[in-house]
Structure formats: structure tokens, C-alpha cells
Amino acid sequence: MHIPDGFISPKAYVPAYVIAGGLWIYGFKQLKSRLDEKTLPFIAVITAFSFAVSLLAVPLPGGTSGHPVGVGMLSVIFGYWIAFISLSLVFFLQAVLLGDGGITTLPINALSMGFAGGLTAHIVYRLTRRINERIGLFIAGWFSVVVASLIVAFILGIQPVIDHSPDGKPLFFPFGLEITLPAVVIPHTLIGIIEGIMTVIGVEAYRSLKVEG
């Protein structure tokens, strides 16, 4: 789901940096308030796991990729602010060290997968956990990826509209919403199943280790 450099117009990524910048400042404050000697190792381990699992990307049409993220697990365990900061760090390191994703697209990747995905997992879990704990965790993980893919597909799909040459030729990503929505979202309805299973296993493992500790 990473969007690489060169696909997004400055008309989209500059405002995204402004929005993400404000959220990063607040998110770091939230992270600082939660960090202690007990939570830090768990945050580090799960963030590292997210780094690894999000590298297992399946190429999708148009130059994007599909993969689980681990955002559901991070959000349910630590809250969506920490999920946002952790995944922002993951996407930054992947872009700088591995060329996966991009620097210009960093705020869009972080906002779609880290913030929107994390917030979605948080809300869905709170609404569904009373029905059944495991089902709630699974649905939270599934929705986190699908909502993130919707945002990515939308941002990509509006590029031909917001930035094009005088003759109408797209200057950045060339495909519209009629292509991006099915091409990005449909595969992520399946990838969401993996994310849901990861969320169930990860949260239960964390709780087990926390109780034992």
C-alpha cells in the first residue's frame, strides 16, 4: 500500500505534510506520556514486527503494493496515537534505507495507514468487543487495512484531476478513481483477513506476556 515518490502532486503532499506535522507533534507527546520501562520493549518489538511484515508486499496495478501493516495490533494494544507514530517511523526508515515508499509521500502513507487505520481499528474494536473479543479484534484489524486502502486509492485517483498539463495530460499518477478504487481496495479486502488474524494473535500474545510479567 506504500505510495512511492513521483506519484503524488505537491498540491497533495504539501498539505499532507502540514496535517501530519501537527499530528506528529501531538502524537509524540502522547508517546512520551506512555513510555516507561515496561511498555517500551513491547512497543519496540511490535514496531519492528510491523516493519518486517509490511515489507512482504504484493505488487498491485499502477505501482502500489499490498501488504498487512500491524496497525490493528498496535492500535488495540497501545492506542491509535502510538500506532500512528510507530508506523510513521516504520515508513520513514523503509523509505530512507530501503527505497520502499517515499519521502514526498511519507505523510500520506502515515496518515492513511498509521492514523486513519489506527483510529479505525480503535473505534471498531470498541464497538465490537462486547459481542465477542476475538471477533472484535479480527474485525478491527480487517477494517484498519480496508479503510487505509480506500484513502490511498482516493488520493491516487484524484491526481489526474488536481494536477495536469493544459491539454489534460496527468503530470503525476495517470489513473483515475475508476481504476484505483477496485485495483487497490479489492485486494486489501483479502489482505485484511491476514491483518485481522495478526491482530487477534498479536493482542492475545501481548496480554499473555503482560500477565506472566
Separation CA 87–CA 177 (nearest Å): 26
Q: Which three cell numbers stand for residue 177?
A: 478513481
Q: How far does CA 30 lie from the centroid of its chain?
A: 18
Residue 135 grid coordinates: 471477533
Percent of residues, the chain, with pLDDT higher than 90: 71
Average pLDDT for 139-149: 96
pLDDT of 137 > 80? The answer is yes
Confidence class for position 1, pLDDT limits 50, 70, 90: low
More confident residue, 125 or 50: 125
pLDDT of residue 211: 60
pLDDT at 191 over 70: yes
CATH number at 10-212: 1.10.1760.20
DSSP 134-168: HHHHHHHHHHHHHHHHHHHHHHHHTHHHHSB-TTS
CA distance 140 to 133: 11
Q: What's the pLDDT tens digit per position in 196-211? A: 999 999 999 999 886 6
Rg from Cα positions in the chain = 17
Exposed/middle/buried for residue 40 (C-beta within 10 Å: 0-12, 13-18, 19+): exposed
Residue 36: which residues within 8 A CB-CB, separation 6 or more?
Answer: none
Which element (helix H / strand E) includes 58? strand 58-59
Please check the confidence at residue 212 and state whether its pLDDT lies above 70: no
* Euclidean distance between CA atoms 210 and 204, whole angstroms: 10
pLDDT at 151 over 80: yes
Tell me how far apart the alpha carbons of residues 117 and 147 are, in angstroms, rounded to a whole number: 6
Contact yes or no for 197/139 (Cβ under 8 A): no
What distance in Å separates the CA atoms of residue 98 and residue 196, rounded to the nearest whole number? 27
Give the mean model confidence (pLDDT) for residues 76-80.
Answer: 95
pTM over 0.75: yes
pLDDT at 173 exceeding the cut of 80: yes
| pLDDT (tens digit per residue) in 3-51 | 889 999 999 999 999 999 999 999 999 988 888 778 888 889 988 988 8
